[in-house]
Structure 1
């Protein structure tokens, strides 16, 4: 499609340069999170494709553990799981679905293993604050689950089926159709696992009652109502059950059910100097906890969110761009059964402005400011500044400074007894400077950072015998994120891709001068892919350093360093049929990410994929 005076997206060393110009061809792919392409102008992201995600197909925790700088706290395979970016907590990580923040309004965080794994076109992992664009909780980092729709591609489909150790079966089906004006995509996934693995070295540990299963459906459609206008829709339906482990054969079995529904409607206008995206979204999260097996649920909750968002973009002159984002939400929550929250609601609004200046093709700046309006809660004025300079063909530098925040969750405010209506929002200031060197096909990224968090919300025991949240902790976090990558093809038959990352994290409670719990000082991860004609091979390795589990830095109760390696091989027949075999934890390592919850030793899977 040719548009006069169109927005242009040019690839420059894995980042994009956007500006206003004359008669250029633009991509026919519609992306639901229209801010993501702007974020990539100024920030380094770790982008994972569906093929990358398939390497760790058990759950989202496995994907992030082996393919990102994030530390994952998982209470056993497939159970409750939470992330830690740059030494922060799960509440300071934002999960973003197609540009919409989907953190739980009850907990203020996302349970990784209750977020669908399949059905996305790409996953982006962004370290560092992003509250100006992505709202509450985007302090340590954000995880973006993105879908897109393309035009003029006709019909395509994919079916993948996997059988794995511990009675695990995973099936995924996707189909898409598009012409020059209409695009539709649908996918479904069903995963079930008995999850009854054993770790004899840990007091003859057996993961009894560890069964989990989930079902996901994704639907997306887009229609061009005019040359410059598109209406689109994206929805996700997710249903899951997790059983919680028991230590004895006849112990009381408990489980947790979760149902999620998300729907997003968007009207986008893209003209010469002006673009506008108007979005309306509805998200609903339901959960039920069963304290007694085969009995009515003990407790539960319903969270409903109504979201309206407008994103206006205007080029004042070819090198100067202004972006204004307005958003309104109504959050509703209700506890069920023994849950200690009555029916509550709140209104949340925000207004943000960003100014982008493209001084030249190798130098650009962005400055942003945002004010949130949260009912009955004071919210700070947020800001961000980014600059990127490509000094020459082998070196570029990127500076980011921002103030970010998280407002209290429903549990923090209204839990009975203990809720504290006088809580302040958590705030943070952060700075990082990413240095990127490119030589002979290798790219080395070195990103030192500093962050300080004030008014961190912490639940503490009271004199009345119950726990209550208070603004107490001040945390200082600093460290280094680094990554080395290499990609090359040889003689049209061979290709190799390598990524290796090292993360150093020092995150200290300023009151005690001790490292925060479950924040490893060192983490190393590596992934290598090799392809020869129809044969593919990959290997993953992860080293995790000493991790304290108590606030006094006791080495007696710490998780000691470990190394885990996975590998897989696949072959493609007649260009449509692929057979694969994977071995997880080749080293047969005994390890855990949360004390007393060991993860599986060596295990296997076979899979087949059909493209049609």
Structure 2
């Protein structure tokens, strides 16, 4: 296969460059036009909407059992944050259709306030990516992508689930498309009393109820042979009550509403493409220190984003990519000392990709960010991949990434610090992939050095303040063994992963809190005619919760196993039954807040 045909296959479904077969560009439109290029050099885990039905409680559960990300969750459905490769919560970028959506106030994302069923697919990428995806893409990035099909007519589906703890999850989706127009709308509503008991700790998850709802609308229209205008929007509303230990305690809650809207103008020809994006995102949140009283604090953040992504093949083997972006970030706090604030953020990035042969390719990138009142570093990335044989390939990546201070870090009163520097990291990783028959083994050792960590420390004045103090390093191994075999009416798939993360504070040499040294993950599914059986498990090693590695305060190791069975009836209906934590294991990811023991759910899916 020649280089031209290889590039056609790699880029065609994502609306990038085509040397031939130009009609394939119209099959699927994906809003994140960079993701397919990322996959040329980096391992990306893709979680489909069908996979999501196995872990439909929330996004935290899905990522915990189907990715390499460690999830720290303050009880089921409560505040939740990710950790890639031993990094902190603020070192993960959440990317919605190519747009970074981390909170401007916190500089990170709350996983359980992102709708699980709001994306057509979820993709997980470990390793730095600030050159393309901006601030916080240090440890990795989680991508919530939407797509639109053409020439598919009318399709619709309905998912409904009833689960333990008076939990109800409902999701509906409908789409219509012809050769010029594609339209899709979807929505979900989830609610739970969430009052589970854990007898090992004599714990009841009092005041743990939650609900969330979202609406997603997408449309794309071909205005000319090589041009289309597209729009994607998401509207989200949720309420989380925070658990208490005794009924006599004051009940608290947190509410949030968010809006995301994106308009894209795409031009695609044989040698060049250009994607112009204009986006508006808004986050509103309110904290109630008494559920029966008015809000005690809150805030509103609004972001106006303009992004242009230009690609051009100078030669058949040489591609240049220029990405320019400008943002206006606005915020206003309530009872936080944050008044009406505004910050301008701009960046220019250039990437050069060289496809030496069909088996060898390289990418180099450089980026400069311009963040108002903050001195930002020059970022870079360099990647290469070599398909050495039909059973072995190797890729390597070196990059410098960063995270600039959030609104809270800078402006919160008291404690904000306007003299903070961005956190920066330098990292390297190398992925080795081996294939033998139906087996595939992937081994990725990595090293990361992080400087100018932003931490909040107590002061002599009696309050906490943000400082650049710590330095940290993280090194380890990500490994995964997969197997897939189909014989007649039998189909078995299996994925087993092991992850080692040594993440230390350079000043003390101790392991960072809430970073387990050893973790494992397993997913197995077996299909026979209309029946599908699956099992999934996670193994988590000892996890320190304090910076001095105090074992008496550490979270003990645990193993959790889920299983389920589903049946497809008349090709349109699917009925399923799941048992979560079938081992009835007592476990937690955060001190004092255990997660549920054995629990059950039944669900049905209808495709129209």
If the length of structure 2 is used for normalisation, what is the TM-score? 0.98
Which residue of 592, 597, 604 maps to 2:593?
A: 597
Instruction: Tell me the distance in 1 between the aligned counterparts of 2:522 and 2:28.
Output: 31
Contact 2:10 / 2:36 at 8 angstroms: preserved in 1?
A: no
Match of 1:41, SS state, is: coil
Instruction: Tell me the distance in 2 between the aligned counterparts of 1:23 and 1:186.
Output: 30
Residue 172 (structure 1) aligned with residue 171 (structure 2):
yes
Match of 2:186 in 1: 187
Instruction: Tell me the distance in 2 between the aligned counterparts of 1:7 and 1:217.
Output: 38
Instruction: Tell me the distance in 1 between the aligned counterparts of 2:228 and 2:519.
Output: 44
User: What are the superposed Cα offsets for residues 538-586 of structure 1, whole Å, 9 maximum, x if unpaired?
Assistant: 1001000010001110111100110000011000111111110000000
Residue 101 (structure 1) aligned with residue 100 (structure 2):
yes
User: What are the superposed Cα offsets for residues 478-500 of structure 1, whole Å, 9 maximum, x if unpaired?
Assistant: 00000111112111x11111111
Match of 1:459 in 2: 456
Aligned residues: 603
Residue 548 (structure 1) aligned with residue 547 (structure 2):
no
Q: How much is the aligned-residue C-alpha RMSD, in angstroms?
A: 1.5
Match of 1:206 in 2: 204
Contact 1:255 / 1:293 at 8 angstroms: preserved in 2?
A: yes
Instruction: Tell me the distance in 2 between the aligned counterparts of 1:253 and 1:515.
Output: 34
Match of 2:494 in 1: 498
Contact 1:6 / 1:273 at 8 angstroms: preserved in 2?
A: no
Match of 1:118 in 2: 117
Question: What are the residue-to-residue correspondences of 1:81-160 with 2, within 5 Å?
Answer: 81-160=80-159
User: What are the superposed Cα offsets for residues 223-268 of structure 1, whole Å, 9 maximum, x if unpaired?
Assistant: 0001100100000000000001111112211100000100000000
Match of 1:308 in 2: 306
Measured after TM superposition, the shift of residue 18 of structure 1 is: 8.5
Match of 1:385 in 2: 382
Match of 1:561 in 2: 557
Match of 1:220 in 2: 218
Question: What are the residue-to-residue correspondences of 1:369-380 with 2, within 5 Å?
Answer: 369-380=366-377
Instruction: Tell me the distance in 1 between the aligned counterparts of 2:7 and 2:30.
Output: 15
Measured after TM superposition, the shift of residue 21 of structure 1 is: 3.0
Match of 2:242 in 1: 244
Which piece of structure 1 moves more, 512-521 or 26-35? 26-35
Instruction: Tell me the distance in 1 between the aligned counterparts of 2:185 and 2:23.
Output: 28
Measured after TM superposition, the shift of residue 297 of structure 1 is: 0.7
Residue 606 (structure 1) aligned with residue 606 (structure 2):
no
Measured after TM superposition, the shift of residue 340 of structure 1 is: 2.7
Which piece of structure 1 moves more, 367-376 or 414-423? 414-423
User: What are the superposed Cα offsets for residues 134-182 of structure 1, whole Å, 9 maximum, x if unpaired?
Assistant: 0000000000000000100000000011000000001100000000000
The structure where helix makes up a greater share of residues is 2
Which residue of 420, 424, 430 maps to 2:421?
A: 424
Match of 1:239, SS state, is: strand
Match of 1:54, SS state, is: helix
Contact 1:17 / 1:361 at 8 angstroms: preserved in 2?
A: no
Match of 2:574 in 1: 578
Match of 2:342 in 1: 345
Contact 1:32 / 1:148 at 8 angstroms: preserved in 2?
A: yes
Q: 1:45 to 1:25 in 2, by over 3 A?
A: same
Measured after TM superposition, the shift of residue 25 of structure 1 is: 4.8
User: What are the superposed Cα offsets for residues 510-549 of structure 1, whole Å, 9 maximum, x if unpaired?
Assistant: 0000000000000100101111111011100100001000
Match of 1:74 in 2: 73
Contact 1:289 / 1:299 at 8 angstroms: preserved in 2?
A: yes
Residue 396 (structure 1) aligned with residue 396 (structure 2):
no
Match of 2:60, SS state, is: helix
Alignment gaps of 5+ in structure 1: none
Contact 2:15 / 2:33 at 8 angstroms: preserved in 1?
A: no
Match of 2:480 in 1: 483
Instruction: Tell me the distance in 1 between the aligned counterparts of 2:293 and 2:17.
Output: 60
Match of 2:264 in 1: 266
Which residue of 349, 362, 367 maps to 1:365?
A: 362
If the length of structure 1 is used for normalisation, what is the TM-score? 0.97
Instruction: Tell me the distance in 2 between the aligned counterparts of 1:457 and 1:24.
Output: 49
Contact 1:20 / 1:319 at 8 angstroms: preserved in 2?
A: no
Contact 2:410 / 2:418 at 8 angstroms: preserved in 1?
A: yes
Match of 1:234 in 2: 232
Which piece of structure 1 moves more, 288-297 or 423-432? 288-297
Contact 2:8 / 2:18 at 8 angstroms: preserved in 1?
A: no
User: What are the superposed Cα offsets for residues 284-316 of structure 1, whole Å, 9 maximum, x if unpaired?
Assistant: 000001111222111110000000000000000
